[in-house]
Structure 1
Amino acid sequence: MNLASLGLTAEQERVYRYFLRAPGASVDAAAADLGIPHAPTVVARLKTMGIIDDGLAPVSPTVAVDLLIRRRMEQTTRELNQLSAAWDIVRDLTEEQRSGRPVELVERIEGMHNVNRRAREMSASSRELMNIKPAPMSHGISNTTVQHFRKRLSNGLISRTLIGIDSLGQPDQMAYAQQQHALGDLHRVTAEYNRRVSISDRAIALIQVDPVDVSVGALLVRQPGMVAALIDMFEGMWARARELTDPPLSAIERQVLQALALYDKDEVAARALNISLRKFRSHVADLMRRLRAGNRFQAALLAKERGWL
């Protein structure tokens, strides 16, 4: 058996085997004995791969094979990712076939009917979705659409949705969000950015033009840099958002957070709230755990980002 299947050329394998048999040999000796004039180039490549060290000592066969297997697996993973990404062109080709015109990197879509239609088309073939919504349930959404989406979740669709904090005060919206969350469309609550955004397969995004008037239309974005920026924005918001299952703040917890932002010392904050220092610090510790904050200052910042202040 040779090592070609693990990525070594025939010459690289011959040179490696030579140094295994003749430890301490020179590169010139290898070139002469093997009849490979460019042996120095081959040795340099083997050093880069970690198969031979700077002193021309070969690593053990066990280590060499392990290194080569790891390199081959990494290469295979990259190739699979490239093949997976190649499927994204299908969406563009399909759109060109449908519309009869070249696909634009940024396309303006007019009218709610057209926006909803394009959103359904985009979602229908997605393998991964990232959504930002003011509310989890859109008005006018059909039961057929909901059931189809839930079926796709059960078939492996990866979906994450950020919903606006105002949804917390709407029982029907929260009930819908909790149902979707339980089925695999993971939901979190955010106080940031109230414009509707949907990102499909990290390759295409649909952005509501006006955060208030949805009838104005949307932008369909395929430009890689713009989509990457939207993904970064989403991931940052997702990390800062609160879990859907987090219990709401009590009145005293909200007062403690406000006191953290106003006062530098616990003693002063506790007196302002008319509670004991021990009780105040207990509330602070609970809030820091919920916010995953490392200190008081960070807790106040995170609370503001989540809309708790």
Structure 2
Amino acid sequence: MKLDVLGLTGETEHVYTALVGQPRCTASELAETCGLTAAGVGRLLSALVKDGLAARTAGRPPRFSATVPDVAVTALIDEQQHRLDEARSVVHQLMETYREAARITHPEMAVELLTDRDDISSAVGRLTADARREVRAFDRPPYVDRPGSNLDLQIQRQRSGVVHRVIYSQEAVAWPGRMNSDIGPSIRAGEKARVRPELPLKLVISDNRVAIIPFSLAAGGQSAAYLIQPSPMLVALESLFEAEWERAVVLSDLRPHPAHGATLGAGSGEPDADTRCLLTLLASGLTDAAIARSQGWSERTTQRRIHRLMHELGASTRFQASLTAARRGWL
């Protein structure tokens, strides 16, 4: 039997298959072909007509023909798929009820402890890969995996419509080379990025379903992490993220403006890519040393570029330079 998955019995499928090759026949004629009784074939033909797989004429005796198979069977498949979707929805609701009941009986089930670095890395990968609407994250050292190692996958998810909102600590932004090789490309691909001087913990939240946080930010603390399922604890983590998001400073898109390659003072009125990056780092509150580490410059070079930038903007303080740049639309 091939069509039993659509709810057809073996005899029904046998009669329908014979009817496809013998149109406009009576129940008696089809019974002789199938080796069944006329009464039994009549009942099966009535069922086929009811399911839309056959049509009956109004004469006496009535004659039957199979409905065009690709139309009729496809309709049955669609109906069966609809029933399966409804069943999945019921199972999902039952699982939510089951999990909630289990949490009440065993509250510890809301939190799973991961104690292996590979398990933690895999869990973070699953969280972000399974997100359908949004990924929210606190990004700060120390790291389990090299920063930027998942850049290509993140860009693919962003292009598929998954929103990424990330708050970086100043230390994360100052990570050598990361602004140009990881954070900048992420922002250009659609990431909504902000920065805070400090973050209380590392955090990844997938939709509003699950989150992961490290056991500790101390040395060795990355070898253990908590996987948080829907619970008051997850709600608290979501609230913490949104509170920090409101207080954080926007990290601007670091692409050059249309005047490609233009530099300050060259008469274009637009900054080049390095200057825009420097402005973003200044606005983020990074120190000269942190900016130097981020860009691979010496502190002397960093200070010289900052002083030149302030002179070009007519600013006497860093704050004034950032404010003037923002008013010109450079941030």
TM-score by length of 2: 0.43
Q: Which has the higher helix share?
A: 1
TM-score by length of 1: 0.46
Bigger radius of gyration among the two? 2
